[in-house]
Each structure stands twice: as C-alpha cells, then as structure tokens.
Amino acid sequence: MNTSGFVQEKDKREGWNRPPHIEPDGEGELLEVAMGPHHPSTHGVFRMDVALDGERVIRLKPVFGYLHRNHEKIAEGIGYLGSMPFTDRLDYMCPLTNNWAYALAVEKLTGQQVPERAEYLRVIVGELTRVVNHASSIGFLIQEMGASGTPLMYAFKAREKILDLFEELTGARMMCNYMRFGGCRVDATAEWLAATRKVVAGLPKFADEYERLLRGNEILMARTQGIGILRPELAVNAGVTGPMLRASGINYDIRRVDGYSIYNRFKFRVPLGEHWDVYDRFMIRLLEMRESFGILEQALKEIPTGPVMDPKAKIRGFRPKPGEAYGRIEAPKGELGFYLISDGGPNPYRYRVRPPSLVNLTVLEDMCLGSNVADVVLIFGSVDIVLGEVDR
Amino acid sequence: MKTVEEIKAAIETAIPGAGVVIVPNPSVSGQHSLRITPAHAVAVATFLRDDAELSLDFLSNATGVDWPDKEVSEKVKITRTVTKTVDGQEQQVEETVEETQKRVVPGCLETVCHLFSVSKGHGPVVIRMKTANRTDQVELPSLTPIWRSAEFQEREIFDLFGIVFTGHPDLRRLLMWDEFKDHPMRRDYVEPDDFEYEPTAHDEVLTRAQEHQAKLAGMAAGQEGAGA
Amino acid sequence: MAVDDGLKIELGKQGVFVTTIEELYNWGRKNSIWPMQFGLACCAIEMIATTMARYDMARFGAEVFRPSPRQADLMIISGTVTKKMAPQVVRLYNQMAEPKYVIAMGACAISGGPFKQGYNVLKGIDRYIPVDVHIPGCPPRPEALLHAFMTLQKKIDEQPLTGEGRPRHLDAEAQSEFPVPVQGEHDLEPASNKGVWTVPVVIR
C-alpha cells in the first residue's frame, strides 16, 4: 500500500524518538506551573506540569488518572453484554462508535455475522457521530483561541439536530447503548430514515457556513499555522492515529486499511496534511466532515430491508469459546481497539480498551517544547482528547 | 503478510537462539501470538521493526494480563513395594496405586503487544512476554526505545499490574496517585471497603453492607449504654 | 406587618410596589448565580449543551461561567469524582466565597453511579462537602439541569435573613471550609467527613 510522501527513517541514532532537549536561554530558575486539573481549556480533568523559561516551555509532563473509573476491572465481573453501556461512557462525545468497536471485537472473537441492514445502520450512526465529534472538536479549539462560545454554538446547533435523531432511534441522547453482538438493538423506521435524509441534506449548508466563518480568519491562521509540528516518522513510531496522523501526511485510515464492516462499498476520499501543524489538523477535520456527508448520502440511498440482528445470536447465556481477539475501528479520534481474552465463562478474563487519546498524547511533549504557553493550549486542543478515554 | 510460522522462521534466522514459541489462538479470529523471551526481546523487536518485508513500525496496543497461581490436582500413578501376604507367605510385591497429588503451578504476569505496519498496511502481529513469577521477579525489558507508543502504555501496566520495565525512560504510576501501594488490576486485589450505604445490594455487596449496618447498630447501642 | 397579595396587586396598579427586604435580597441573589466552569466527565457535555442555544441557561442569569472559584457562586459537580480528584474538588470548594452552592449532577456525583464498584471512585461527593441539589440521571437531560437550577433558585428564595436557616454567609458560626482528604496508601484518608455525611440507615 502506498503511503504517499512518507519514507521511513531507519535512524539508528540513540533516542531519535525521544523528545528534544531545549536549553533555557534566560538566567534564573525555571518556573514550574501545573496547568490543571481544573482549567478552563483542558478538555476535562487533565494536568500538565510545565517548566517555563519566561514564556517558553522547557519541559512538559502530562499527568492523568483524574477520571480513572476502572472500566476494565468492572468488565471482568459484569459479563460481555453488561459492558456495552460502559463503553458509551469511554469517549462520551461519540458513544455509538465505542459501541461499534466493542461489538466488532466480540464478533471477531465468536465469528458472528452481521446482517446487511444492521451494517448500513451502523455506518449511518457512525458517520453521524463523526460529524458531531469533528464539529464539536473544532468548536472547542476555536473557543480556546478566545472566540468564547460562538463557533461552539454553531457546532452544537448541528449536534442537537443529530442528537434528536439518536434519541428517536435509540432512546437516549448521549449514552445510546445501541449495538449488540450480531447487529443492532432496534430497527429504524421509514420515518426515521426520512428524517435522517432531511438532516443530512441540511448538513453541507452548515459545513459551508462554518467553514466560511473560520477558514480565512486572520487570527486563526496566525495562531495555528506553523505551530505544533509533528514529523511523520515520529507520528508512526509513537502510535498516533486518526486525524492527527493524517495531518502529518500519513495515508492510514483504518476504514480503508482493514475494510471492516461495509466501508469497501462507499466512495470517499482521505484528506492528508502537508505542513503537519495545528492548522492542518483543523482543516483535516473539516474535510473529513464533508467526506462523511458523502458516505451518509450513499448509505441512506442504498440501505436494504431485512433483519437487524443475527438470528443465531445468543443474548442470554452468552459464553464465547476460549480464545482472544483484537478488534479495532476508525473512531473519530483515532484507532479505538478492544482486546478480549475469553476463558469460556460468562465474563471476559481480560478486557482491554486501546484508547486513541492516550496514545496520541505521547507526542504532546515533543510538539510543545520550545513554544509559548498560549500555543500549548492550542496544540493540546488540536490533539482532540477526551478524558473518559484516556483514563477509562 | 507472512503467517505466524513464517515470521517465527524469519526471526530465528536473523537472531539465532531467540527461542520464539507460537501460542495458538483457539478462537475464530485466528490471531495467533508469538511468545518471545525477555533476554532477546529488544533484538527481536528491532528486527520486527526494521525488516524490509515485515516493517512492523506501529505498536498499537500494549497491555498486561495476570495469570494467578493455580492449584492443580492430578492423579499420579505411583509404584511402590509393599509387603503383602500372598498364599499365606509374606512377599515383597510391587503395587501401582493411583493417588491424587496437589501442586501449585506458579502464576506469572504477561505483556501482550499488537503490532501493525503503516507502510505496508498489514497486521496484527501479536507478541507476548512472560515474567518469571508474580512476586519478586517481575522485570521485563521495555520496548519504548523501539516504539515510542509503548511509553504511556507500559507505565499503565506498571501502575495496574506491577511489571517493572527496565530501560523505560520514566517509569512512574500513570493512573493512580503516587502514594498508592497496590496494583489494582491483579486478580487478588481487595478493594477498600467503603460500601456503607447500598440501597439495592445483592450477593457479596449485601453481606458487606449488612456487616457495616451491624457495626453501626453496635456502636449506637454502645453509645446509648455509655450515656445511660 | 404582612401585606396580603390582593392588596399588593391593587397597590401595584396604582404604581406603588410593596415588598420586604428579604424578598428583594433573595431575588437579586437567585437571578445572578454564576456557576464555576467545572466539568469532570460526560455530564459536563450535557452541561455545555444546557448553555448552548437550544436550552439556554443565560435566561436564568447563569450565563457567565467563571473559571476561577473565587468569582463563582455555584459549583456544578458534573461527572464522576475519583479519589485522585477529590482533594482538588474540596480545595476548590474551600476557595469559593460565601454564599456558595453545590449541585451534584448525575448519578456519579450523587453516589458513585454506574462506576460504584471502583477502587478509584468516590462514592458521592457529599461525603466531603455539603450538597444543595441532587439531580439523578446518567446523564441528566438539559431540562433536568434547568429544573435543578430552578429548584436551587426556589431554595435561595426561601432562605430567611435572620434566625434559624439563614444562609451561611450571614451566620458567623457556620462552617464554610471543610478539611481536604489526603491520598493514602490504599484509599483516601479519611474515607468520609463525619461532620458532613452520616451513613444513611437502610430500613428494609
């Protein structure tokens, strides 16, 4: 598979993937500040211990665990299906894609087949979630730049329409708990599909308005271009996935690479970045939102009739045979994977969530060293993390 | 992509004596793993990353598993010489008796890593490493110098399971606070007891909540007795 | 001397406005509560949605979310409080100036919620600080948060200025700062603040 423009640097130097060492150029001591855990612009309870030389960052160490709710330990006692509502609360901006990743992992473990209509429904709600996530993420990033609240209001306006759809389909605005092993929980009615088509038809206008307000904005361009550069080879070595990886020019989208579910049937492009900075990440998210509109239109046109649950699926007494499986999807934030070890009992022996946000944070230090404190906030916003996933 | 057997052969050609063992995966997913020894882990990992055909440059997931000590009771045939009376005469006869013996198989902690290739687009290749036991010999070599994405994930394994990674640049606790003493994801971890109030308790939580209520009632009665 | 409502309305028609100092004081307080920007987890997203265009919290006077605890009146604990975060929550509460109120939003803040079996989850923030309004839900809808807000406004409205039940900032002996728990080796020490939270007795 060709990854355009990327050459792996087989650099044998000791520590080529370690953060660079910055020399303070002033005199006197470094000022050590703890940004967080209660901070207006950290997306949740997250702390960064920064050592500053004037305004420049010399050292940065992230500290998390403030939202560690031991999801993995609970899953060992609550059964396979019992973990499904808990996966909603992992990345709480996109609950449906979390459900999907977990259902995919269990289906890999047991070899269950998912009927066609269920796959289409999964793609539709998954791409709607992607739109919600990317719009909100851009809104939060711009809010941290000082535009206090207005872009976020536009994003949440679109989000409320999509949440109405989710509520009608699944019963809940946010914690949907919609996927099951072998399909989806309930079927969508024709009215719901008609309402979704109407909402999706209005989404390109929302994206146009959003883009027109932000794209050529001088403040945005001055503050985000050239900031937070992430080299491609470091991005790959550090396990970065999602829009951050594609903004560094690497063509790796799990929907294309793995071809899970029915993504092979849809035509969509994968935008890549050229300058590897915060502005690229912001634009990638806008462009991916537009590609999602295309996938949604195709899926809504082609959705067949049929059952939404595998008829052979066992809901009660679900005991998969011993073995293990690792299933992953392209969540809006990156690669969300679930690793399950089954010992034949009703509870998983080991249940592991591979969080995209935690692994994407590995390179936060590299990107922030040498820049100003105000840029740290923007770089951190462009990584787009959510603490429920980092800490689980 | 190569199969597990081909990868094992490639590793052993490149690094003789590496001691790679295939761990089959009985489930439908077909993701078999390779167990590597801690002594050769860094060499094997560097080979996996830099080989032209495999090119596994992306460590996706690194996690720990706890396999506790198991008590195994097995039936063992023991041959013993016993004095028995046969036809009125005492003779030394060999007897084979089946006895059940119990022994403890020591547990271990294990690290599992999932590797993918971004440049080639294949994966996953699963590698595993085991520690010698769960109590004192819990060191494993760190894979952070080879794949940077292991940095935070190995810190989390250290925090929750207790595996000490030698060669890690900054091994501290990640999710729990620094003064915390236990390793919570182990199977024998006992949670602190703050279940005093449980409106809809059942099973073991109900027994714990009832003990708490009994203690409270006892304390209240004691205070009344002291006050009266 | 209390004035009955019929007389008030009659006087109002004539352009004379009769009220008590208590009513006026509380009216001013309840319509300008400034919450602190304090979102912990998933409930925070619903809290943000409540301040957005559809369920507008600005019409209740709570538009200005202050990041600094010194300038805030209300702390909406939205999300799970973990034992690692609990000392900081209590510290922030201590830093708020009187009069201050707490809304425990969501099941996790009330009692630990779905994550109650957690070695790191604090089973309810009311173990360490006094809570005024509890909202159940996981997450509670924005309308539920608005209802809680109105309940808090009603509670403020009913507080007399003298005597029993007066708010803490008019009471010299009331405790307004609470001890911060310390992170020990296995758990927080102390596990709960006995002065604030007593174990409820379950009657079956």
Residue that is written with structure tokens 């409106």 in the block: B199
Q: Per this entry, what is the length of chain A?
A: 392
Identify whether residues A244 and A109 lie together within a single domain: yes
pLDDT of residue A242: 92
Residues with Cβ < 8 Å from C124, sequence gap 6 or more?
C104, C109, C110, C111, C112, C197
Q: Which amino acid is at C124?
A: G
* Residues A227-237, mean pLDDT to the nearest whole number: 89
Give the count of beta carbons closer than 10 Å to the beta carbon of residue A360.
29
Instruction: Name the least confident of A3-12, C57-66, C182-191.
Output: A3-12
Identify whether residues A279 and A305 lie together within a single domain: yes
Identify whether residues A171 and A248 lie together within a single domain: yes
pLDDT of residue B12: 86
Closest CA to A330 of A232, A246, A253, A228: A253
In a domain, residue A332? The reply is yes
Domain-ending residue, one of A63, A96, A119: A63
pLDDT of residue B154: 92
Contact C200 B194 (CB under 8 A): no
Q: Determine contact: C80 vs chain A, CB below 8 A.
A: yes
Instruction: Confirm if B111 and B128 have CB atoms less than 8 A apart.
Output: yes
> Is the predicted pLDDT of residue A243 greater than 90, yes or no?
yes
Residue C132 in tokens: 């005024």
Residues with Cβ < 8 Å from A183, sequence gap 6 or more?
A114, A115, A118, A307, A308, A309, A310, A313
In chain A, the number of structural domains is 2
Interface of A with B in 267-306 (CB under 8 A): none
Instruction: Confirm if A229 and B50 have CB atoms less than 8 A apart.
Output: no
CATH number at residue A242: 1.10.645.10
First-residue to last-residue Cα distance in chain B: 82
Sequence-separated contacts (24+) of A122-125 with Cβ below 8 Å: A122/A179, A122/A184, A122/A261, A123/A261, A123/A262, A123/A263, A123/A266, A123/A295, A123/A299, A124/A196, A124/A296, A124/A299, A124/A300, A124/A303, A125/A96, A125/A166, A125/A169, A125/A176, A125/A178
Q: Determine contact: B174 vs chain C, CB below 8 A.
A: no
Alpha-carbon distance of A235 to A247, in angstroms, equals 10
Instruction: Name the least confident of A64-68, A131-135, A240-244.
Output: A64-68
- Three-class DSSP category at A392: coil
Q: Per this entry, what is the length of chain C?
A: 204
- Per CB-CB distance under 8 Å, the chain C contacts of A40 are 37, 67
Contact C119 B177 (CB under 8 A): no
Residue A326 in tokens: 């690792």
Contact A45 C85 (CB under 8 A): yes
DSSP state of C66: B
> Is the predicted pLDDT of residue A218 greater than 90, yes or no?
no
pLDDT of residue A65: 87
In a domain, residue A9? The reply is no
In a domain, residue A227? The reply is yes
> Is the predicted pLDDT of residue A11 greater than 60, yes or no?
no
Identify whether residues A26 and A94 lie together within a single domain: no
Q: Determine contact: C111 vs chain B, CB below 8 A.
A: yes
In a domain, residue A106? The reply is yes
CA distances to A44, A59, C165 from A380, in Å = 12, 15, 46
Burial class (CB in 10 A: 0-12, 13-18, 19+), C113: buried
Residues with Cβ < 8 Å from A217, sequence gap 6 or more?
none
Residue A7 in tokens: 């050459």
Q: So what's the ipTM on this one?
A: 0.87
Alpha-carbon distance of B131 to B164, in angstroms, equals 10
Interface of A with B in 72-131 (CB under 8 A): 72-73, 108-111
For residue A107, the chain B residue with the least C-alpha distance is B29
Select the more confidently predicted residue: C80 or B197.
Answer: C80
Burial class (CB in 10 A: 0-12, 13-18, 19+), A21: exposed
In a domain, residue A48? The reply is yes
Instruction: Confirm if B199 and C202 have CB atoms less than 8 A apart.
Output: yes
pLDDT of residue C150: 92
Identify whether residues A194 and A150 lie together within a single domain: yes
For residue C87, the chain B residue with the least C-alpha distance is B177
Identify whether residues A126 and A26 lie together within a single domain: no
Distance from the A339 Cα atom to the nearest Cα atom in chain B, whole angstroms? 9
Question: Which CATH homologous superfamily contains domain B4-67+108-166?
Answer: NADH:ubiquinone oxidoreductase Nqo5 subunit (3.30.460.80)
Instruction: Confirm if A19 and A361 have CB atoms less than 8 A apart.
Output: no
For residue range C53-69, list pLDDT tens digits in order. Answer: 888 888 888 888 888 88
> Domain spans of chain B?
4-67+108-166, 70-104, 195-227
Residues with Cβ < 8 Å from A239, sequence gap 6 or more?
A359, A362, B58, B59, B60, B147, B148, B149, B150
Residue A302 in tokens: 């082609």
* CB neighbour burial string for C123-155, b if at least 16 within 10 angstroms, e if fewer: bbbbbbbbbbbbbebbbbbbebbbebbeebbee
Radius of gyration of chain B (CA): 27
Contact A157 C37 (CB under 8 A): no
For residue range A14-73, list pLDDT tens digits in order. Answer: 567 788 777 777 677 888 888 878 887 668 888 889 998 888 888 888 888 899 988 988
Identify whether residues A84 and A54 lie together within a single domain: no
pLDDT of residue A194: 94
Q: Parallel, antiparallel, or unpaired: how do β-strands B33-35 and B21-23 relate?
A: antiparallel
Interface test with C, best of B190, B196, B208, B215 (most C CBs within 10 A): B196
Q: Determine contact: A323 vs chain B, CB below 8 A.
A: yes
Distance from the B206 Cα atom to the nearest Cα atom in chain C, whole angstroms? 12
Band (C185; pLDDT cuts 50, 70, 90)? confident
Select the more confidently predicted residue: B209 or C74.
Answer: C74
Query: What's the mean pLDDT when you consider all of chain A?
Result: 87
Identify whether residues A54 and A176 lie together within a single domain: no
* Residues B124-149, mean pLDDT to the nearest whole number: 88
pLDDT of residue A111: 87
Band (A105; pLDDT cuts 50, 70, 90)? very high
pTM of the predicted protein model: 0.89
Range of the domain at A25: 20-63
Q: Determine contact: B68 vs chain A, CB below 8 A.
A: no
Interface test with B, best of A18, A335, A339 (most B CBs within 10 A): A339
Instruction: Confirm if C128 and C192 have CB atoms less than 8 A apart.
Output: yes
Band (C99; pLDDT cuts 50, 70, 90)? confident
Nearest to B181 among C118, C186, C192 (CB): C186
CA distances to A22, A47, A309, A364, C75 from A53, in Å = 10, 19, 59, 18, 34
Interface of B with A in 102-131 (CB under 8 A): 112, 114, 118-121, 124, 126
Instruction: Confirm if C188 and C181 have CB atoms less than 8 A apart.
Output: yes
Burial class (CB in 10 A: 0-12, 13-18, 19+), B205: middle
Identify whether residues A117 and A260 lie together within a single domain: yes
CA C180 to chain centroid: 19
Distance from the A143 Cα atom to the nearest Cα atom in chain C, whole angstroms? 13
Closest CA to A100 of A182, A160, A161, A186: A182
pLDDT of residue B197: 66
> Is the predicted pLDDT of residue A125 greater than 80, yes or no?
yes
CA distances to A110, A339, A357, B101, B112 from A324, in Å = 9, 7, 24, 31, 11
Alpha-carbon distance of A149 to A291, in angstroms, equals 26
Report the 3 state secondary structure along A76-131: HHHCCHHHHHHHHCCCCCCHHHHHHHHHHHHHHHHCCCCCHHHHHHHHHHHHHHHH
In a domain, residue A3? The reply is no
Contact B176 C120 (CB under 8 A): yes
In a domain, residue A143? The reply is yes
Sequence-separated contacts (24+) of B155-159 with Cβ below 8 Å: B156/A358, B157/B62, B157/B63, B157/B64, B157/B111, B159/B183
Chain A positions touching chain C (beta carbons under 8 Å): 37-40, 44-45, 65-71, 73-74, 77, 85-86, 89, 92-93, 152-153, 156-157, 159-160, 173-175, 387-388
Identify whether residues A56 and A177 lie together within a single domain: no
**Cis ω before B184 (30° cut-off from 0):** no
* Residues C21-30, mean pLDDT to the nearest whole number: 88
* Residues C131-150, mean pLDDT to the nearest whole number: 91
Q: Which amino acid is at A192?
A: W
In a domain, residue A4? The reply is no
pLDDT of residue B222: 66
Identify whether residues A48 and A122 lie together within a single domain: no
Contact A65 B58 (CB under 8 A): no
Distance from the B179 Cα atom to the nearest Cα atom in chain C, whole angstroms? 6
Instruction: Confirm if A33 and A50 have CB atoms less than 8 A apart.
Output: yes
Instruction: Confirm if A98 and A129 have CB atoms less than 8 A apart.
Output: no
CA B199 to chain centroid: 36
**Cis ω before C99 (30° cut-off from 0):** yes
Q: Determine contact: C191 vs chain B, CB below 8 A.
A: yes
Query: What's the mean pLDDT when you consider all of chain B?
Result: 82
Band (C147; pLDDT cuts 50, 70, 90)? very high
In the complex, which subunits touch A with 3 or more CB pairs below 8 angstroms? Answer: B, C
For residue range A361-372, list pLDDT tens digits in order. Answer: 999 988 988 888
* Residues B55-77, mean pLDDT to the nearest whole number: 85
Identify whether residues A44 and A148 lie together within a single domain: no
Residues with Cβ < 8 Å from C127, sequence gap 6 or more?
C191, C192, C193, C196, C197
